[in-house]
């Protein structure tokens, strides 16, 4: 029977069309990911990818199996959540570090938790990927993060969802800022949100983007163009930034609730269950 890690490697390589990118997300070496996929192919007796020196593409078998692989991973995550819920000890208080892009979801989650357990002290803290990772690594219990991928190794994850990046944020006065639609390869430099797959032909800016909302200052300063979701287009009004709709399939960021499973208490598991319930609606 195929192992979960092999299936996860297959799904991530398929999602990013890159063995090296999948290795970065999993905090593994590229050879380890390649060996994992090769092992899965041998066990299934199927070729899953067409590889060349520059590209990775799914075979027809790979295309057919990818939805099943993602379903298996989702079920495994749900299994881990329920097992952890049954095993945990109650710990006081709760701290949720959340990416500003998904602040609306974090607020709904906090309200849901307060309704289920009145009096529970829930501390909400906005923070980008680095802040969320640091909070998780220092935590001994009662801490969870609503953050974008890549998710830090050694932590439990659940309630995954995607946010489409439908527009490109450009400095006011940029030649592209007046067009109706634009593609990512036309940007002179691209500010890449952490967790977003690298588009073909894109030229990257030097700065890494932990928090797309805060990175609009870099856009205004002319450091690069930034893919952003509809939420920022609807809520941000500033004269030095323009938003242009992206043509073609929109890139996306993957978010999830992340926590330290071995020290999570009842309140953290209630938070996880609440996030899963909201996503089912």
Question: Band of the pLDDT at 22, cuts 50, 70, 90?
Answer: confident
Do 201 and 216 touch, CB atoms closer than 8 A? no
What is each CA distance from 265 to 123, 145, 157, 204, 261, in whole angstroms? 15, 14, 15, 41, 9
Q: Does residue 201 have a pLDDT over 80?
A: no
Which residue range is the domain that position 190 belongs to? 166-250
Predicted confidence at residue 200, as pLDDT, reads 76
Q: pLDDT of 9-20, one tens digit each? A: 998 898 888 988
Chosen domain end from 33, 64, 85:
85
Q: pLDDT of 107-126, one tens digit each? A: 999 999 888 888 787 889 99
Predicted confidence at residue 86, as pLDDT, reads 66
Q: How many C-beta atoms surround the C-beta of residue 48 within 10 A?
A: 22
Residues 173 and 229 in one domain: yes
Report the C-alpha gap between 129 and 135 in whole angstroms: 10
Is the model more confident about 83 or about 41? Answer: 41
Report the C-alpha gap between 231 and 233 in whole angstroms: 5
Residues 214 and 273 in one domain: no
User: End-to-end CA distance of the chain, in Å?
Assistant: 33
Handedness of CA 27, 199, 206, 209 (dihedral sign): negative
Q: pLDDT of 158-187, one tens digit each? A: 999 999 999 999 999 999 999 999 999 888
Residues 144 and 265 in one domain: yes
Report the C-alpha gap between 101 and 116 in whole angstroms: 25
Question: Band of the pLDDT at 90, cuts 50, 70, 90?
Answer: very low
Q: Does residue 53 have a pLDDT over 80?
A: no
Q: How many domains does the chain have?
A: 3
The pTM is what? 0.64
Report the C-alpha gap between 165 and 246 in whole angstroms: 8
Average pLDDT rounded to a whole number, residues 54-74: 89
Chosen domain end from 85, 119, 154:
85
Report the C-alpha gap between 96 and 100 in whole angstroms: 12
The CATH number linked to 20 is 1.10.10.10
């Amino acid at each position: 029977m195929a192992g979960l890690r092999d299936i996860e490697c297959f799904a991530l390589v398929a999602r990013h069309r890159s063995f090296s990118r999948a290795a970065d997300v999993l905090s593994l070496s590229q050879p380890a990911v390649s060996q994992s996929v090769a092992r899965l192919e041998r066990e299934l007796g199927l070729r899953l990818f067409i590889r060349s020196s520059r590209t990775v593409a799914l075979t027809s078998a790979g295309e057919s199996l990818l939805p099943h692989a993602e379903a298996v991973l989702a079920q495994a995550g749900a299994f881990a959540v329920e097992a952890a819920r049954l095993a945990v000890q109650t710990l006081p208080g709760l701290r949720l570090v959340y990416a500003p892009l998904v602040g609306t979801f974090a607020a709904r989650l906090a309200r849901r938790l307060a309704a289920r357990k009145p009096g529970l002290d829930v501390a909400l803290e906005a923070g980008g990927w680095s802040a969320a990772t640091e909070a998780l690594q220092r935590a001994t219990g009662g801490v969870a993060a609503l953050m974008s991928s890549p998710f830090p190794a050694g932590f439990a994850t659940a309630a995954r969802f995607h946010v489409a990046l439908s527009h490109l944020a450009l400095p006011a006065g940029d030649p592209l800022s007046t067009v109706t639609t634009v593609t990512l390869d036309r940007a002179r430099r691209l500010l890449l949100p952490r967790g977003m797959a690298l588009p073909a032909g894109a030229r990257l800016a030097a700065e890494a983007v932990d928090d797309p909302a805060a990175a609009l200052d870099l856009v205004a300063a002319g450091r690069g163009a930034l893919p952003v979701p509809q939420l920022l287009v609807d809520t941000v009004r500033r004269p030095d930034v323009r938003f242009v709709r992206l043509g073609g399939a929109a890139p996306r960021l993957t978010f999830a609730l992340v926590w330290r499973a071995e020290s999570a208490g009842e309140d953290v598991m209630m938070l996880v269950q609440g996030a899963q319930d909201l996503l089912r609606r």
